[in-house]
Amino acid sequence: MTMVRQASAAATAARTAAQPMLDVERVRTDFPLLMQHRDGKPLVYLDNAATTQKPQVVVDSVKQYYEGYNANIHRGVYKLSQQATDAYEAARVKLQRFVNAAQPHEIIFLRGVTEAVNLVAHSFGRTSLVAGDEVVISAMEHHSNIVPWQIVCEATRARLRIVPMTDEGELELDEFEGLISAKTKLVALVHVSNSLGTINPVKEMVAIAHGHNVPVLVDGAQATPHMAVDVQDLDCDFYALSGHKMFGPTGIGILYGKAELLNAMPPYQGGGEMIRSVCFDKTTYAPLPAKFEAGTPNIAGAIGLGAAVDYLNGMSWDAIHAHEDDLLRYATESLETIPGLHVLGTAKEKASVVSFVLDGVHAHDIGTIVDKEGVAIRTGHHCTQPVMERLGVPATARASFAFYNTREEVDALVRAVHRVHEVFS
Amino acid sequence: MADLKDLYQQIVLDHNRAPRNFKKIPNASHTAEGTNPLCGDDITLYVTVEGNVIKDVGFQGKGCAISQASASLMTSTVKGKTTEEAESLFRAFHDMVAGGPDAPADDKTLGKLAALAGVKRFPARVKCANLPWHTLHAALTGSDEPASTE
């Protein structure tokens, strides 16, 4: 008996060493909002692909800035301004290390992925695209990585080409290579699909594009809350992330760009902060990163995002991955036991996102009914109307999990979806 | 506390399951498209007006139970009414689903449209209920722009 126990303890220890466990209950206490009850029921927040909740340390860092050292940056000679500048620039270095960029000035603070794509589309796109050129994007892009390219293509008379996807929600790589030609000036790809959860083989696709000397922009909005990102390893030319998707504040994100490319690009917006000198005859621009940060930036946001990075650095990506993978499998299996329910997006490599439809019931009705059970999920087209069109559905219900979600919350979702059948029976 | 039964009344579920007037009218005198950009719901409305009377009305499209039932209830109600009566029903309907919490529903005017009164307590769903009415208004006023709930 004793021997068995010892053997079992040793096995447990070995497992723990191989796969660090996440103490979810402890982690949850870091997030004040998760402690809430709604209509007498515990809040089950499963809309993390839309935005994530914020740990107390992020909320505190923003509060401390406003209460303790709020001042504009890069201009005051007084100590308070210097303190704010130091915190803002320290946040830049945190983000540089977070994505493993070679240099801090390759990190541009802006509002998020939407603004990052617009920056590249207008600054890089408008100056390098001419009539007949092509930009390649994929069938599973978020509208934020479609519409800016349509605007620029219309202005330059360039053309958008689309990498198709399979019924399972995987990009067709053979088709991808075939789409790249001498006309291709840029490839813009989503790292992880927000509506299906597919993790795209970005590194491989960057290598293919680079084989044709075509630079690549990666939309990392849905990747950074789930996995370590190394822009030098991916060798992508641009990488964008949004703070609020990775436990930081809204209205702040970054564009990473290789210095060589960013240096060659014209400014996107003009104003204060981004100039070296201004005369009515001629204005010269500041070097990176200021060239792309016109106006007073979201200082509190950058500091808060830095705090979110610190928070993530205190965790283990392996532990997060193991936990989220367990949630993904458990949720997929549990939901599929519900009659008439179909999971959309069954790629081999997936982040913890489960999109589903229910026969005879529109996604909005699912959303309203599960909300009454205290379960928050997203319903609709998820800003990916072409994905809905491709899969032949008007909308889906989507549960998206973060590391602070639990199997019990999956159970609550499944119970709530059963309620939909009761209401509609 | 708002109850799901207030929202999904039997008559609403019935009209969703078997929508009335779900048809295209090939020679309609008025047509309009309506979309709810937030959720992608869309509806096309066909109206045949003779004099100022709505002789026939049909709709096609896709959407949630509330928008489908609302379109079905609306088309059954306005058929045979004058365009002025339809516009006045729209106002009464709008007041019912989007009016203040204490605004009493005008049941006498609304008739079976009152089945959607529960929508008021689900603010996120008001646009679903209103979409067919906005589209009817666009069709009757001959607006070239697609109707939108935004």
Is 60 exceeded by the pLDDT of residue A6? Answer: no
Interface probe for A, chosen from B64, B126, B127 (most Cβ of A below 10 Å), is: B64
pLDDT of residue A41: 86
pLDDT of residue A19: 64
- Say if B150 falls within a structural domain: no
Of the candidates B4, B40, B124, which has its C-beta nearest A388's C-beta?
A: B40
- Say if B104 falls within a structural domain: yes
pLDDT of residue B101: 64
Q: What distance in Å separates the CA atoms of residue A313 and residue A177, rounded to the nearest whole number? A: 36
B125 reaches A (C-beta below 8 A)? yes
| A372–B65 C-beta distance less than 8 A | no
Return phi, psi of residue B36, to 5°: -110, 95
Domain boundary among A270, A294, A313: A313
Of the candidates A365, A372, A380, which has its C-beta nearest B40's C-beta?
A: A380
Give B149 to chain A, closest Cα distance, Å. Answer: 15
- Say if A295 falls within a structural domain: yes
Flag residues of chain B having pLDDT under 50: 1
Q: What is the DSSP string of A46-75?
A: -BTTT-----HHHHHHHHHHHHH----SSS
- Say if A302 falls within a structural domain: yes
Mean pLDDT, residues A337-363 taken together: 97
Taking every pair of C-alpha atoms in chain B, what is the biggest distance, in angstroms?
47
pLDDT of residue A162: 98
Of the candidates A385, A423, A424, which has its C-beta nearest B40's C-beta?
A: A385
Q: What distance in Å separates the CA atoms of residue B148 and residue A159, rounded to the nearest whole number? A: 29
Residue A305 and residue A178 in one domain: yes
**A383 tagged catalytic:** yes
Domain boundary among A313, A344, A371: A313
Considering only alpha carbons, which residue of chain B is nearest residue A363?
Answer: B64
Show the domain range for B54.
4-142
Residue A222 and residue A109 in one domain: yes
Identify all chain B residues contacting A395, using CB atoms and an 8 Å cutoff.
39-40
Residue A216 and residue A363 in one domain: no
Given a contact cutoff of 8 angstroms between Cβ atoms, the answer to whether B39 and A395 are in contact is yes
More confident residue, A325 or A11: A325
- Say if B57 falls within a structural domain: yes
pLDDT of residue A39: 77
- Say if A1 falls within a structural domain: no
pLDDT tens profile A245-292: 999 999 999 999 999 999 999 999 998 888 888 888 888 999 999 999
- Say if B38 falls within a structural domain: yes
pLDDT tens profile A73-102: 987 789 999 999 999 999 999 999 999 999
pLDDT of residue A2: 41
Residue A222 and residue A288 in one domain: yes
Choosing from A153, A236, A279, A383, the catalytic residue is A383
Residue A241 and residue A344 in one domain: no
Residue A322 and residue A287 in one domain: no
pLDDT tier for residue A137 given thresholds of 50, 70 and 90: very high
Show the domain range for A394.
18-47+316-424
- Say if B49 falls within a structural domain: yes
Residue A62 and residue A43 in one domain: no
pLDDT of residue A198: 98
Is 60 exceeded by the pLDDT of residue A209? Answer: yes
Tell me the CATH number at A408.
Answer: 3.90.1150.10
Considering only alpha carbons, which residue of chain B is nearest residue A397?
Answer: B39
- Say if B138 falls within a structural domain: yes
- Say if A101 falls within a structural domain: yes
pLDDT tens profile A52-73: 999 999 999 999 999 999 999 9
Q: Are strands A184-190 and A134-138 parallel, antiparallel or unpaired?
A: parallel
Q: What distance in Å separates the CA atoms of residue A15 and residue A9, rounded to the nearest whole number? A: 10
Given a contact cutoff of 8 angstroms between Cβ atoms, the answer to whether B34 and B135 are in contact is yes
pLDDT of residue A4: 45
B128 reaches A (C-beta below 8 A)? yes
| B124–A424 C-beta distance less than 8 A | no
| A424–B65 C-beta distance less than 8 A | yes
A389 reaches B (C-beta below 8 A)? no
B45 reaches A (C-beta below 8 A)? no
Report the number of distinct structural domains present in chain A: 2
Return phi, psi of residue A99, to 5°: -100, 5
Considering only alpha carbons, which residue of chain B is nearest residue A423?
Answer: B8
Residue A296 and residue A197 in one domain: yes
- Say if A36 falls within a structural domain: yes
Residue A308 and residue A238 in one domain: yes
Which long-range contacts (C-beta less than 8 Å, at least 24 apart) are formed by A211-214? A212/A180, A212/A181, A212/A182, A212/A184, A214/A136, A214/A180, A214/A184, A214/A185, A214/A186, A214/A187
Give B139 to chain A, closest Cα distance, Å. Answer: 24
Considering only alpha carbons, which residue of chain A is nearest residue B124?
Answer: A368
Return phi, psi of residue B43, to 5°: -150, 140
Residue A167 and residue A267 in one domain: yes
Tokens of A210: 């680079």
Residue A139 and residue A254 in one domain: yes
Report the number of distinct structural domains present in chain B: 1
- Say if A330 falls within a structural domain: yes
Identify all chain A residues contacting B122, using CB atoms and an 8 Å cutoff.
368
Tell me the CATH number at B47.
Answer: 3.90.1010.10
Mean pLDDT, residues A400-415 taken together: 98
Tell me the CATH number at A262.
Answer: 3.40.640.10
| B66–A395 C-beta distance less than 8 A | no
Of the candidates B38, B68, B125, which has its C-beta nearest A368's C-beta?
A: B125
3-state SS, B60-127, equals EEECCHHHHHHHHHHHHHHCCCEHHHHHHHHHHHHHHHHCCCCCCCCHHHHHHHHHHHHHHHCHHHHH
pLDDT of residue B145: 65
- Say if B148 falls within a structural domain: no
Domain boundary among A297, A313, A329: A313
Mean pLDDT, residues A285-303 taken together: 96
- The number of helix segments (H) and strand segments (E) in chain B equals 6, 4
Is 60 exceeded by the pLDDT of residue A7? Answer: no
Mean pLDDT, residues A174-194 taken together: 97
Residue A218 and residue A276 in one domain: yes
pLDDT tier for residue A20 given thresholds of 50, 70 and 90: confident
